[in-house]
């Protein structure tokens, strides 16, 4: 899990470096596409290793098609919103906002799944909501003009929360098959989105050099491909609730990246973010949500 947290946390840093810092090498939409496309190729190789062809994959996803389709739409919007947000805001800011999604999942679970709201979960929700609110307001006050990036990150957070909720209805499905189908299909959806943007005259950046190629391969092969394999291996060894509880540490990795990139957060923003993430940590550690079996960030 240490490797998974480092990979997924560092992805925010790499995304910010390529999409948001001069000279910009890759637009967020392209970063999202290549991340999922290279991840899809990696996971297809995993399917080949497991000797699962199109017929076996189709048979495994048939009972879950409706929920899987919803999860693919949410995942597609999420990854584009996430990596476009890093065009405007630092990696730590984007990571903290995205990783507030367990609060959304908690609200859904309590209202629709009738999950019990324990005192620890209630405290975690309160800290997450309070810290998140202060974090967002402070970010806008300290750095005016970041509204677009923050709005995109909030959209990404909501989409990732919605995606996680759909995983509740995918319980029992093969994890590797679900992730492979999600990456392959989402890549096609994002490609169509990019074509639509370019057809409408939107200028997108894709500079092909050593840094951009290395970054995109890192995001696709390691973060979205190998990262899932490592995470699912950790789930099998530790169990889903325990494995997923480590994920709340990702924003701390991304915030460290802000210092490396020369964008250290203000003290008030950092403190508010820590409070919010600690709240998320309480929600995770107190939960036993079966949807975590497939979750990542």
Query: pTM for the full model?
Result: 0.87
39 exposed, middle or buried (CB, 10 Å; 0-12, 13-18, 19+)?
buried
Q: pLDDT value at position 294?
A: 44
First to last CA, the chain: 13
For residue 229, the model assigns a pLDDT of 81
Q: What is the pLDDT of residue 230?
A: 83
Q: pLDDT by residue (tens digit) across 56-102?
A: 888 888 888 888 999 899 999 999 999 999 999 899 888 888 888 87
What are residue 206's DSSP bridge partners?
Answer: 26
Average pLDDT, the chain: 85
Q: At what angle do helices 91-98 and 65-85 cross, to 10 degrees?
A: 150
Domains of the chain: which residue ranges? Answer: 2-294
Distance in angstroms (rounded) separating the CA atoms of residues 46 and 247:
23
Mean pLDDT across 9-18 = 93
* Separation CA 36–CA 178 (nearest Å): 14
Confidence class of residue 109 from pLDDT cuts 50, 70 and 90?
Answer: confident
Q: Which residues contact 92 (CB under 8 A, 6 or more apart)?
A: 12, 251, 254, 255, 256, 257, 258, 263, 265, 273
From residue 263, give the alpha-carbon distance in Å to each of 51, 96, 160.
46, 15, 26
Going by pLDDT thresholds of 50, 70 and 90, the confidence category of residue 231 is confident
Q: pLDDT tens-digit profile of 264-291?
A: 888 888 888 888 888 877 877 765 444 4
Q: Is the peptide bond before 23 cis (omega within 30 degrees of 0)?
A: yes
């Amino acid at each position: 899990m240490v490797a998974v947290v480092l990979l997924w946390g560092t992805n925010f840093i790499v995304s910010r470096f390529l999409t948001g810092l001069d000279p910009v090498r890759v637009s967020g939409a392209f970063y999202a596409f290549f991340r999922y496309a290279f991840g899809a190729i990696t996971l297809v190789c995993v399917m080949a290793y497991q000797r699962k062809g199109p017929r076996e994959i189709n048979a495994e996803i048939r009972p879950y098609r409706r929920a899987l389709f919803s999860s693919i739409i949410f995942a597609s919007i999420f990854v584009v919103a996430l990596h476009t947000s890093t065009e405007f805001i630092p990696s730590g800011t984007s990571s903290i906002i995205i990783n507030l999604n367990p609060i959304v999942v908690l609200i859904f679970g309590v209202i629709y799944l009738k999950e019990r709201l324990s005192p620890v979960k209630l405290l975690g929700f309160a800290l997450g909501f309070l810290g998140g609110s202060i974090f967002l307001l402070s970010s806008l006050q300290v750095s005016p003009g970041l509204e677009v990036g923050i709005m995109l990150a909030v959209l990404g957070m909501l989409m990732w929360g919605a995606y996680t909720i759909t995983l509740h209805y995918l319980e029992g499905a093969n994890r590797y098959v679900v992730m492979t189908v999600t990456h392959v299909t989402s890549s096609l959806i994002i490609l169509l989105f990019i074509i639509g943007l370019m057809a409408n005259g939107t200028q997108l950046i894709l500079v092909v050099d050593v840094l951009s190629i290395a970054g995109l391969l890192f995001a696709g092969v390691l973060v979205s491909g190998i990262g899932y394999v490592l995470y699912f291996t950790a789930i099998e060894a530790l169990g889903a609730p325990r494995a997923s509880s480590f994920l709340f540490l990702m924003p701390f990795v991304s915030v460290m990246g802000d210092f490396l990139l020369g964008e250290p957060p203000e003290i008030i923003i950092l403190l508010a973010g820590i409070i919010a993430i600690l709240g998320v940590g309480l929600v995770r550690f107190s939960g036993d949500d079966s949807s975590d079996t497939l979750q990542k960030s």
